[in-house]
Amino acid sequence: MAQHTPLSQFEIKKIIDINLFGFDISFTNSSLMMLISTLLIILSLFIATKNPKPIPTKLQLFVEGIYLMIKKMINDNIGHEGQKFMPMLFMLFLFVLFGNLLGMIPYSFTFTSQIVVTLFLAMMIFFSIIIVGLSKQGLGFFSIFNPKGVPIFLSPLIIVIELFAFLARPISLTLRLSANMLAGHVLLKVLAGFIVTLPLLFKVLPIPLIVILIGFEFFVAILQAYIFAILSCVYLSDAVKSH
């Protein structure tokens, strides 16, 4: 029983052992899934836009739909000057989306459930906010800690609260994505494990429930990728717009 706990699906296994200057940079199953998802993204984008037709094929429709969705999201949240973040947010959304969806294949690995991966993505957003904000607005960037219309005697308290809210952003981005993926997969495994203990005749009964839950997990996978992209977009709008 020890090797079949619901959490064993998140175990990282080394495929190729690489040790460089004392750092362990082995090629693991997590990196394999990341490589596969990146290759799938590049391949699908390449095939879809190779010879675009007036009446789009299904793949072209999918890619164009996602492109327009991200473009509209940036236009709504940041405005026209946010279009230079388009490539970053587009790839971020697709990377998280493919990671979540590839993880739904049985016996594959969900790399977005690893805190390392999501923390890296969130820190990338966090530092780009700071760098873009400082280079665009200079020291005026720090006015996000003191919003307009705050009474002067309240502002020391507000500055502390806003500072902690700002520092908690990458942590909440990280935990939201990885906890959703982790909890969903653990839930599926635990409920599937209950079926095994049932008597033989009743094993068919819970299958509709499991199917509904798997559908719900697909919905959560897409929704979390969207939330990750839209939150990075909202956070970036802080850096670009002056207050």
Partner 1 sequence: MELVAIKYIGVGLTSIGMLGAALGVGNIFNALLGAIARNPSASDQLQRSALIGAGFAEAMGLFSFVIAILIIYS
List contacts with partner 1 (CB under 8 A): 172, 175-176, 179-180, 182-183, 220, 223-224, 226-227, 230
C-alpha closest to that of 146 among 165, 126, 132: 165
Given the DSSP bridges, would you call strands 23-24 and 19-20 parallel, antiparallel or unpaired?
antiparallel
Report in angstroms how near the CB of residue 180 gets to partner 1 at its nearest: 6
Report in angstroms how near the CB of residue 112 gets to partner 1 at its nearest: 14
CA distances from 51 to 44, 60, 94, 110 (A): 13, 10, 21, 33
Report in angstroms how near the CB of residue 199 gets to partner 1 at its nearest: 29
Nearer to partner 1, 78 or 185 (CB): 185
Nearer to partner 1, 158 or 179 (CB): 179
Report in angstroms how near the CB of residue 46 gets to partner 1 at its nearest: 30
Nearer to partner 1, 57 or 172 (CB): 172
| Angle CA 166–167–170, to nearest 5 | 100
Contacts of 41 (CB under 8 A, 6+ apart): 91, 94, 95, 98
- Burial (CB count within 10 angstroms: exposed 0-12, middle 13-18, buried 19+), residue 30: buried
Nearer to partner 1, 179 or 214 (CB): 179
DSSP state of 200: G
Nearer to partner 1, 71 or 176 (CB): 176
Report in angstroms how near the CB of residue 135 gets to partner 1 at its nearest: 30
C-alpha closest to that of 67 among 174, 29, 52: 52
Based on its alpha-carbon atoms, the radius of gyration of the chain, rounded to whole angstroms, reads 22
Report in angstroms how near the CB of residue 121 gets to partner 1 at its nearest: 16
Nearer to partner 1, 180 or 237 (CB): 180
Contact 6, 190 (CB under 8 A): yes
